[in-house]
Chains A and B, each alone.
Chain A
């Protein structure tokens, strides 16, 4: 990367999470950057060969987070720190283009040219698919349960699948093994999306109020409730979201509806299912290795929580 633009480079550095920045490693987003290297190592490749794709993936990860915050209207302190929405959009442009430059820089390495072109195209197509998923998320008035899964698969499922698939391709050309890691990443991404979706519910539990009715209404728990609740309770549930469930009594009623209809059981069952499918994908990628064990540990931690 050129350092001819110190202002933009500083802004990009400001938003990229430093490894170990957070005291609790489970909350450190930088931990996901190890996925391409681990998948490469698990199929017998050298993890160092994934440096460019790992860095590109992480720049895109960071950019996606900022764009998501802006589009959802979140009050993200990072955007204020950058100097507002305009600067944040410009910084994400810098991150997107730097990621593409990193992928192109693989041309200078001893990597088969066909592989570089294939991986670069895979990155661009996946990002376009994520953008399409985000478009759906932003434009649909209401989200059905099927649509929630469609959007989650197009966004976090596809993105984590990309990390694992691209890493594995530096260690093997066996399409079955590459597919196995791609599937593993897909299920990790979906498990993370299920958890990510619960942020607004945490706020509700803590403060007794709904801060963002729109994002709560578009959550997995709400999509599930809308899908299965009888119409009278569904209407009450929707009203509680739209008026912000202000006050302890209303927020309790809102959470009671979710409890009574089995929203918690549904989310745990989906987590369990995607854990089992992710583990099944890893079993396809045998033989066992320390890297494979680490990948099992990563998905196991998601399930345990």
Chain B
């Protein structure tokens, strides 16, 4: 559940988010966490761009157009 822990840390600790952008591997290693290349790439691109699209209220609406039932 490393991804969940990293996401929570990004959302609640600005210093951690900043360090992650500068040196992702060392920042994760310091916490004993490991993410895949894809996960790191996505998180970094989100941190560098507009994070509004990942706000919970923003996420709920458009996704619902695609329920599998």
Residues of chain A having any CB pair with chain B under 8 Å: 24, 26-27, 29, 32, 65, 68, 145-146, 156, 189, 192-196, 198-199, 201-202, 205, 221, 224, 227-228, 255, 258-270, 272-273, 276-277, 301-302, 305
Contact = CB atoms under 8 A, between A and B. Distances in A.
Given A259-B56, A305-B65, A265 B4 contact: no
Interface string B35-59: 0101100110010000101111111
Chain B binding site: helix, strand, loop or mixed by DSSP? Answer: helix
Given A205-B60, A227-B1, A262-B7, A29 B66 contact: no
Interface string B1-14: 10111011011100
Contacts of B56: 201, 221, 255, 258-259, 263-264, 267
Contact of A202 (B7, B39, B61): B61
Contact of A195 (B11, B46, B63): B63
Say which size band chain B's interface belongs to.
Answer: 20 to 34
Given A145-B4, A273-B36, A261 B11 contact: yes
A265 B10 contact: yes
Contacts of A199: 64, 67
Given A201-B60, A224-B4, A262-B11, A268 B68 contact: no
